[in-house]
Amino acid sequence: MLGVAHRERLSVVQAYRFALDLTPRQERAVLAHAGAARVAHNWALARVKAVMDQRAAERTYGTPDEHLTPTIGWSLPALHRAWNAVKADVAPWWAECSKEAFNTGLDALARALTNWSDSRSGKRAGRRVGFPRFKSRRRSTPSVRFTTGAIRVEPDRRHVVLPRLGRLKLHESARKLARRLEAGTARILSATVRRGGGRWYVSFTCAVQRDAGVPARPDATVGVDLGVTHLAALSTGEVEPNPRHLDTAARRMRRLARRMSRGVGPDRRTGRRGSKRWKRARVRLGRAHARVAHLRRDGLHKLTTRLAAEYGTIVVEDLNVAGMLANRRLARRIADAGFAELRRQLAYKTGWSGGRLVVADRWYPSSKTCSGCGAVKTKLALSERTYTCTTCGLVLDRDVNAARNLAALAVTVAGSGPETRNGRGADRKTRPRGLVAVKRQPGTAKAANTGTVPPQGRTSNHELTYAS
Ligand SMILES: [Zn+2]
């Protein structure tokens, strides 16, 4: 096309999730499949444990290694072989369920075992991963994944077809996915049916071809600070309000949580089961939680789409997620949960739009620093909603001030060479590439600079480095 620059195509893995309206019969069929997944998982786990225990016992008798009970493979094909050999005895009803159901359970176990051994050997970073545990019928989330067979969206975009389960009605239109499937820019890799927040969902994992975008203002930078009373504050001075109905939903959630804590819950020591009222309150609370999460995620999606389409550089703060979960204040917890979501969405959306995401480290005092003169306050109570600078007299909304400091942080980033660009691609399990501020070793900062920040936002005890 004339006047339109050649656009790069990106191949990304993207999920589309839709709520389902299952009939009671379909729900029973899904639960049977989820149950089959659990049976296969638990059987294979018991087998793995038995072999491990047997070998450990034999070692204590001094049995030489070559005479120990042979190990069984932990890979998915090995678990499959073991399961297929015994399924007729362990699960005589196996033919009633799709083989994909057993595959769901065995695959989950294979991955859990790999994660555990990688974590133990230090190959896997992050928190220690425990040994896989048995899945309980009461506590585990029912879910089944299909990777082969008839998986499609019906032409009316209101129904989907899955192997064995047949034609399932969607609660919402699947037009976004259907359009891509019809245009040939998406291919379904797998479909997972899962219950969450008192509802059934189907999510399609797809290989999607996307046009690489270009932000409307590639040289513009925006800082984003997530709020509690509002959704977010931007360095441009805009304060993004919370989505509609979020406050009402959050109020309802608090009320239900209160009711539940007063009810007669289960007691492990006495073996008491929870009362009917308590169970009912728990279901309602689960639904209310899901609604609050959905409303907030929806608001974040609208915000992040808009930001990624407009700005070349977006700066957010890195927060201590483990520390945040310990926070007991509900409003704060909701905001914190939204924070991880904001970063996740921005990471892949800047990847799609060709923008850049900069993550400031969690020691960067974005709230306590004056965005006008760079003075740093030693204390700033959470209740202070307005930032008042005693040095230069600046008076600004607390969160807008923080957002401005974050935006200023990106200015110190040298140029916009390829290495400072956010890596393209949807898989964001690793840390987003780009710049992060890291704590400098103590003693390297000049004493005279301590406590002040130059206007560019480079603090005395911070410097910017590339995250790999
Ligand atoms: Zn100031």
Q: Encode pLDDT of 366-408 as tens digits.
A: 888 999 998 988 888 877 888 999 889 899 998 899 899 989 8
Which has more confidence, 125 or 27? 27
Q: Which among 442, 462, 432 is positioned nearest to 351, based on CA atoms? A: 432
Which has more confidence, 444 or 131? 131
In this prediction, residue 106 has a pLDDT band, given cuts at 50, 70 and 90, of very high
* Mean of pLDDT values over 223-235: 84
Phi-psi group of 198: left, alpha or beta (phi > 0 → left; psi -120 to 50 → alpha; rest → beta)? left
pLDDT number for residue 207: 95
Fold of the CATH domain 217-264+278-415: Nucleotidyltransferase; domain 5 (3.30.420)
First to last CA, the chain: 38
In this prediction, residue 329 has a pLDDT band, given cuts at 50, 70 and 90, of low
Name the percent of the chain lying above pLDDT 70. Answer: 82
pLDDT number for residue 132: 94
Q: How far does residue 316's CA lie from ligand 1's centre (Å)?
A: 21
In this prediction, residue 413 has a pLDDT band, given cuts at 50, 70 and 90, of low
Indicate the length of the chain as a whole number: 468
* Mean of pLDDT values over 33-58: 93
| DSSP-assigned letter for residue 245 | T
Q: How far does residue 465's CA lie from ligand 1's centre (Å)?
A: 26
pLDDT number for residue 410: 80
Give the span between the Cα atoms of 147 and 99, in whole angstroms: 10
Which has more confidence, 361 or 221? 221
Residues with CB in 5 Å of ion ligand 1: 370, 372-373, 375, 389, 391-392, 394
Q: How far does residue 457's CA lie from ligand 1's centre (Å)?
A: 12
Which has more confidence, 74 or 465? 74
Give the span between the Cα atoms of 364 and 112, in whole angstroms: 36
pLDDT reading at 20 higher than 80: yes
Which residues are identified as catalytic?
A: 225, 317, 399
Given a contact cutoff of 8 angstroms between Cβ atoms, the answer to whether 407 and 221 are in contact is: yes
Residues of the chain with CATH 3.30.420: 217-264+278-415
Highest mean pLDDT among 5-9, 45-49, 123-127: 45-49
Q: How far does residue 394's CA lie from ligand 1's centre (Å)?
A: 5
Which has more confidence, 443 or 201? 201
Q: How far does residue 435's CA lie from ligand 1's centre (Å)?
A: 26
Q: How far does residue 373's CA lie from ligand 1's centre (Å)?
A: 4
Contact residues for 92 (Cβ-Cβ < 8 A; gap 6+) = none
Q: How far does residue 382's CA lie from ligand 1's centre (Å)?
A: 19
The angle that helices 330-353 and 246-262 make with each other, rounded to 10 degrees, is 140
Q: How far does residue 155's CA lie from ligand 1's centre (Å)?
A: 60
In this prediction, residue 267 has a pLDDT band, given cuts at 50, 70 and 90, of confident
Tally DSSP H helices, then E strands, for the chain. Answer: 9, 16
Q: Which among 384, 378, 219 is positioned nearest to 313, based on CA atoms? A: 219
Contact residues for 322 (Cβ-Cβ < 8 A; gap 6+) = 127
Torsion of CA 129, 134, 137, 140, to 10 degrees: 10
Task: Return the beta strands (E) in 244-403 as ranges.
Answer: 311-317, 356-360, 386-388, 395-397
Q: Where are the alpha helices (DSSP H) in 61-98?
A: 76-90
